[in-house]
Amino acid sequence: MASDHESKLMSLTEMVARVPDGAALALGGSFLHRGPFAFVRELIRQDFVNAFEKVDALISPTSPVPAFKLGERTADPLQMYLADIFTIAANLAGICGISVPCGFAEVDGHRLPIGLQLLGKPLDEARILQTAHAYEQSTEWHKARPPIAATAQNIQP
């Protein structure tokens, strides 16, 4: 027999399967704040509560991919959405976060910036800002700039 959590999660999965393609993305995650989807939001929040019982801050990449060239993904909203996927949990869980520069990736001969995300407990912005400042003082990444290669001709509306 399925637990209460499993049965709610199954019904959530069934609901998502019935949502027309792209509709959930168009809502941008606000669908997790009401109704049965709020259960998933609470599970995410509780995971962070549990993690913050053991640590003061969490670090992760800001994005699963390096920054993309200006205008590169405007034709593919799903790819643009997925580039932000690591930042969404902070909003859903109600925790604070900041992204700081942490390097560059070489992609097709271009140096593209990479971000480091620092996450903290709800209302603990001071600690996250202090941590971000300490990181920036110990590295030079915040001073580095990639070459700007975009021109008005290669930017798509």
pTM above 0.95, yes or no: no
Give, as one character, the DSSP assignment of residue 70.
T
- Interatomic CA distance for residues 157 and 155, integer angstroms: 7
Q: Please name which of 97, 80, 48 lies closest in space to residue 156, comparing C-alpha atoms.
A: 80
pLDDT confidence bin for 143, thresholds 50/70/90: confident
- Ordered by start, the domain boundaries in the chain are 4-145
84 pLDDT above the threshold of 60: yes
